[in-house]
């Protein structure tokens, strides 16, 4: 992405946040709006429990924080999920699985990354086997900062995401499509011989329309 936009990590987020959404809103029909509203109102979460963030997801769903009241509920498999939550540092070994899970989700799909580890490596900044910047490999829609962020922060993140969805903002999955070559090159660089087969992403390359 860097080569196209000249930004990296949360710099890009700044850019995207600052983008003008007014034009988008005008292009939406009533049906589009309804659909967008429905999408934000019902988020099925595939919580990829990597790192310490996995422990933070659980209270989110239980009585104390009760994310269900926002229509957020867990999903068992990527096929049913709308949001992928990457909850912490990603080892290279885990990255492969995360990418696979992400590619198997059905569009529209969103990625929320938890904690500083996903932003810049965090306390694992010099580890030999973790991924430092997750958005080099997956189109993260939202980073939730902290080490680890509390469930309240997580809920805030979700609400922010819901708002962006309702506004009809261009989701990360479209970025993934547009910059597939770049994402794939990054992935290939890290994964090397363990690179995923392209059966889940090839259709994007041939210009597949979802």
Q: Which of residues 134-173 bind other proteins (CB under 8 A)?
A: none
C-beta atoms surrounding 189 within 10 Å = 11
105 binds other proteins (CB under 8 A): yes
Task: Using only the alpha carbons of the chain, give its radius of gyration.
Answer: 16
Instruction: Report residue 114 as tokens.
Output: 């938890």
Task: Identify the residue among 20, 76, 181, 192 touching other proteins (CB under 8 A).
Answer: 76
22 vs 76, which CB is nearer to other proteins?
A: 76
Which residue stretch of 3-11, 105-113, 126-134, 142-150 sits at the interface with other proteins (rule: CB under 8 A)?
Answer: 105-113
DSSP E strand boundaries for the chain: 43-48, 72-74, 83-86, 90-91, 110-114, 130-131, 142-144
Binding mask 50-69 for other proteins (x = CB under 8 A): ------------xx--x-xx
- 24 belongs to the binding site for other proteins (CB under 8 A): no
Q: Which two tokens stand for residue 98?
A: 């995360």
Q: How far is the CB of 66 from other proteins (least distance, A)?
A: 4
Cα distance between the two ends of the chain: 22
Q: Which is nearer to other proteins, 94 or 116 (CB)?
A: 94
Nearer to other proteins, 190 or 196 (CB): 196
**In this structure, what DSSP letter does residue 171 have?**
P
From candidates 25, 54, 59, 71, binder to other proteins by CB under 8 A: 71
Structure tokens at 120: 């810049």
**Which residues of the chain form contacts with other proteins (CB under 8 A)?**
35, 38-39, 41-42, 44, 48, 62-63, 66, 68-71, 73-80, 82, 96-98, 100-101, 104-108, 196-203, 208-210
């Amino acid at each position: 992405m860097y080569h196209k936009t000249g930004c990296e990590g949360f710099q890009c987020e700044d850019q995207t946040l600052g983008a003008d959404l007014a034009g988008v809103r005008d292009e939406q029909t009533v049906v589009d709006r309804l659909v967008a509203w429905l999408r934000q109102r019902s988020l099925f979460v595939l919580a990829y429990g990597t790192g310490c963030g996995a422990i933070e997801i659980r209270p989110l769903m239980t009585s104390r924080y009760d994310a269900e009241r926002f229509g957020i509920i867990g999903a068992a498999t990527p096929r049913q999920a709308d949001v992928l939550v990457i909850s912490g540092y990603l080892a290279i070994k885990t990255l492969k699985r995360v990418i696979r899970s992400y590619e198997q989700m059905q569009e529209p799909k969103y990625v929320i990354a938890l904690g500083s580890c996903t932003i810049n490596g965090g306390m694992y900044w010099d580890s030999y086997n973790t991924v430092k910047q997750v958005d080099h490999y997956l189109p993260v829609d939202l980073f939730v900062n902290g080490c680890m962020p509390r469930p309240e922060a997580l809920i805030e993140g979700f609400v922010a995401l819901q708002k962006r969805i309702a506004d009809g903002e261009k989701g990360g999955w479209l970025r993934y499509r547009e910059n597939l070559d770049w994402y794939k090159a990054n992935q290939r660089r890290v994964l090397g011989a363990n690179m995923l087969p392209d059966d889940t992403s090839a259709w994007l390359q041939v210009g597949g329309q979802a």
